[in-house]
A and B are shown apart, each in its own frame.
Chain A
Amino acid sequence: MIDTILSSMTDGLMLGFVYGLAAMGLTLIWGVMNVINLAHGPIIALGMFGVYLTFTQLGLNPYIALILLAVIGLLLGILIYLIAVHRVINAPHLSTLLATFSVNMIIIGVGTSLLSTTPRNIDFPLGRIDLGPVTILYTRFAAAGAALLITGLLYLFLYRTRQGKYIRAVANNRTAAELMGIPSMRILALSFGIGTMLAMVSGGLIATFFPFTILSGGGYELKSFLICVLGGLGNPIGALLGGLILGTLEGLIPMFMPTTWVPVLEFVLFVLILLIRPQGLLGGET
Chain B
Amino acid sequence: MRALRNPGLWLALLLTAAMGVWPFITKSATTREVIFTILLFVSLASSLNIFLGYTGYVSFGHIVWYGIGGYVGFYLMDVYQTPLYLCVLAGGLASGIIAFLLGKAILRLRGAYFALATIGVNEAARAFINNFDPFGGPIGMTLNFSIYKSYGGAARALWITYSSLLGITLLVILVSFLVKNSKFGLGLTAIRENEDAAEVMGVVAPDAKNWAYVLSAIFPGMVAVLFFFKNGTILPHDAFRLHLSIEMIVMVMLGGQGTVLGPIIGAAGYQRLRGLLLVTPFFKNIQLAVAGAFLLVIILFVPAGVVGWLRDRFPQLRRVLE
Binding site for B on A (CB under 8 A): 34, 36, 38, 84, 87-88, 91-95, 97-99, 101-110, 112-113, 222, 225-226, 229, 258, 260-261, 263-264, 266-268, 270-271, 274-275, 278
Contacts and interface: CB of A to CB of B under 8 A. Distances in A.
Contact of B117 (A34, A88, A261, A271): A271
27 contacts: A36-B112, A36-B116, A88-B299, A91-B303, A92-B111, A94-B52, A95-B299, A98-B58, A98-B249, A99-B300, A105-B288, A106-B293, A108-B292, A109-B292, A110-B286, A113-B285, A222-B120, A225-B120, A229-B116, A260-B127, A263-B123, A264-B127, A267-B120, A270-B116, A270-B117, A274-B116, A275-B108
Contacts of A99: 296, 299-300
B131 interface: yes
Contact of B291 (A93, A105, A264): A105
Given A101-B295, A105-B288, A105-B291, 16 more contacts: A38-B119, A87-B300, A91-B303, A95-B303, A97-B115, A98-B249, A98-B253, A98-B299, A99-B300, A104-B292, A105-B289, A109-B288, A113-B286, A270-B120, A271-B117, A274-B113
Interface string B109-148: 1011101110111011001101100000000000000000
B285 A112 contact: yes
B105 interface: yes
- The 3 closest A-B CB pairs, nearest first, are A109-B289, A105-B292, A109-B288
Interface of B: 52, 56, 58, 60, 105-106, 108-109, 111-113, 115-117, 119-121, 123-124, 127-128, 130-131, 246, 249, 253, 285-296, 299-300, 303
A260 B117 contact: no
Nearest to B123: A263
A110 B109 contact: no
A97 B123 contact: no
A113 B284 CA distance: 9
Given A260-B127, A274-B106, A274-B109, A92 B56 contact: yes
Nearest to B52: A94
A263 B299 contact: no
B242 to A, nearest CB: 8
Q: Is the interface of B mostly helix, strand, loop or mixed?
A: helix
B127 A106 contact: no
Nearest to A85: B300
Contacts of B56: 92, 94
Nearest to A269: B120
Given A88-B300, A95-B299, A109-B286, A263 B117 contact: no
Contacts of B288: 105-106, 108-109, 112
Contacts of A267: 120-121, 123-124
B120 A271 contact: yes
Contacts of A106: 288-289, 292-293, 296
A198 B131 CA distance: 34
A260 B126 CA distance: 10
Contacts of B117: 270-271, 274
B296 A263 contact: no
B209 to A, nearest CB: 15
Contacts of A101: 60, 246, 249, 292, 295
B127 to A, nearest CB: 4
Nearest to A95: B299
A222 B106 CA distance: 17
B291 A36 contact: no
Contacts of A261: 127, 131
B112 A93 contact: yes
Contacts of A87: 300
A44 B30 CA distance: 43
A235 to B, nearest CB: 15
